[in-house]
Structure 1
């Protein structure tokens, strides 16, 4: 019986490259750790100062550990801006835009990607250009349109505007996805006698649900963080969203550093919680796109 062994040259090569690979991995890990700390450091400073008293902040500075946990800054901020109302406004606006934006994107992309309407390329170019336009360009015409329709200073105006803006991106993305949709499924639905609407909501939407979940999450977070257009179109305090309330409060002369940190923490916390809740949806959507 003969025993087959690996050539000595291969063994030497493997042993010589292992230390180099391990060093490279440690270097990459260290760089990623430094970058992570740079990203997390401002959030940690905000958390530290949100639970300090003004006296503690004045005596020990912004980077010290709080001597005692104080929720007074959060309570003062909550009561000063009526944050419950602002939170409800942002939640209703973001959820409405996310749902309507995904629905409008699906309808547009179904016509362009699967229906193959005439002038499909020009429609896609239009949606691409709409994504590239800055919001400052849209303010002047949207202001007069909302005034003419008696929608100025109404959350309905913001919902309509952001639904159209977000659906432009969603249409451009979904059109490329539906362009490569399996024709076998569409042919099978046609053989079963399914019409266009039944094919859309019975075949296309369930198959593309991971991508739609990603769009829904992005639309919600993008709308929640929007500041410029809500600042212009929502002038009443009862209609303002969370980012506008934070900006208005930070311009107050009576604001202190602890209350500012508390407002920043309370303002970003709902979006972070929403992202963590739908993290699996994002992972599934990205994994589905990579596999495809």
Structure 2
């Protein structure tokens, strides 16, 4: 009797085990609509916040454009936020002629371009010796470059000006090129040495087994890999050098050697300031860097993306 009960229980258990469980009920239509509404509302909130920040960033440029085409009487009779009653372009012509803008523009272009190229190349050579060459005291050398990059320009101007006087580079744009090549390469060396410090040793050993020398390893193995990062550095070096004001102001005293930021400062007097002309000059000075950024925007994006993926 007991065996019959046990066998019946085991059969019932196996039957219950082989029975398929019913699928869990799917959430209702109201729940799906509620989740979809919350996701859509969250997206719109994020979009609104991003749009607000974009508007805050663009607002100063819009004010500059508005005030650049105002006459002095229109500006003094209204407010900086008011629209111009008529388009006034004499401020642009006055700035162009007063500061001899083509000369200032050319000085800024060639000095910034040379600093971008020379600073990036010097950064690569320094980082190759530190990161791949594994010189002794590598950590201390990188720390020195980092500290040098953090020093304020006010603390460097006196020894720099003294060295420029002794070498005959006073009031010479080449002094700006040399100074900012060294200053910018300090940051570039710190960045590239960190990248090359984790460079795969297997690639270097394979190149050495194939008979490649140090220069061949640098230009055929290392350079193709760090080229996107170097492109980003070159773009930053160009823009940073273009915007420099204090050291060029001290080093370049003659009108024919000065750069665009110094030309803008010449519009401000001790007791009078022509705001429309200053805005017109700022607008004209911004256009070259804006075009440069648009032209190299794809290169900058590729460099940042390549560094992130790597």
Q: 2:112 aligns with which of 94, 97, 101?
A: 94
Mapped pair 1:154 → 2:172:
yes
Aligned residue in 2 for 1:53: 71
Aligned residue in 2 for 1:38: 56
Deviations 1:141-186 (A, max 9, x none): 1111111111111111111110011000000000111112233332
Instruction: Please give the TM-score of this superposition, normalised by the length of structure 2.
Output: 0.87
Could you tell me which runs of 5 or more consecutive residues in structure 2 were left unpaired when the two chains were aligned.
1-19
Structure number with bigger Rg: 2
Q: 1:246 aligns with which of 264, 270, 274?
A: 264
Instruction: Please give the TM-score of this superposition, normalised by the length of structure 1.
Output: 0.92
Q: How does 1:141-180 map to 2 (within 5 A)?
A: 141-180=159-198
Deviation at 1:254, TM superposition (A): 6.5
Deviations 1:93-126 (A, max 9, x none): 1001000000000000000111111111110010
Mapped pair 1:103 → 2:121:
yes
Q: Which moved more, 1:22-31 or 1:83-92?
A: 22-31
Aligned residue in 1 for 2:100: 82
Q: 1:202 aligns with which of 199, 220, 223?
A: 220
Q: Which moved more, 1:263-272 or 1:213-222?
A: 263-272
Q: 1:54 to 1:200 in 2, by over 3 A?
A: same
Deviation at 1:257, TM superposition (A): 2.2
* Distance in 1 of aligned mates of 2:31 and 2:221: 53
* Distance in 1 of aligned mates of 2:28 and 2:227: 48
- For these two proteins, the number of residue pairs brought into alignment is 290
Q: 1:122 to 1:61 in 2, by over 3 A?
A: same
* Distance in 2 of aligned mates of 1:242 and 1:167: 23
Deviation at 1:13, TM superposition (A): 6.2
Report the 3-state secondary structure (helix = DSSP H, G, I; strand = E; otherwise coil) of the residue aligned with 1:23.
Answer: helix
Deviation at 1:5, TM superposition (A): 6.7
* Distance in 2 of aligned mates of 1:79 and 1:249: 12
Mapped pair 1:279 → 2:300:
no
Deviation at 1:224, TM superposition (A): 0.2
Aligned residue in 1 for 2:4: none
Give the conservation status (yes or no) of the 8 Å contact 2:232–2:303.
Answer: yes
Q: How does 1:63-74 map to 2 (within 5 A)?
A: 63-74=81-92
Mapped pair 1:121 → 2:139:
yes
Give the conservation status (yes or no) of the 8 Å contact 2:267–2:274.
Answer: no
Deviation at 1:65, TM superposition (A): 3.1
Report the 3-state secondary structure (helix = DSSP H, G, I; strand = E; otherwise coil) of the residue aligned with 2:82.
Answer: coil
* Distance in 2 of aligned mates of 1:5 and 1:224: 67
Aligned residue in 1 for 2:15: none
CA RMSD of the aligned region, Å? 2.1
Report the 3-state secondary structure (helix = DSSP H, G, I; strand = E; otherwise coil) of the residue aligned with 1:238.
Answer: helix
* Distance in 2 of aligned mates of 1:139 and 1:183: 42
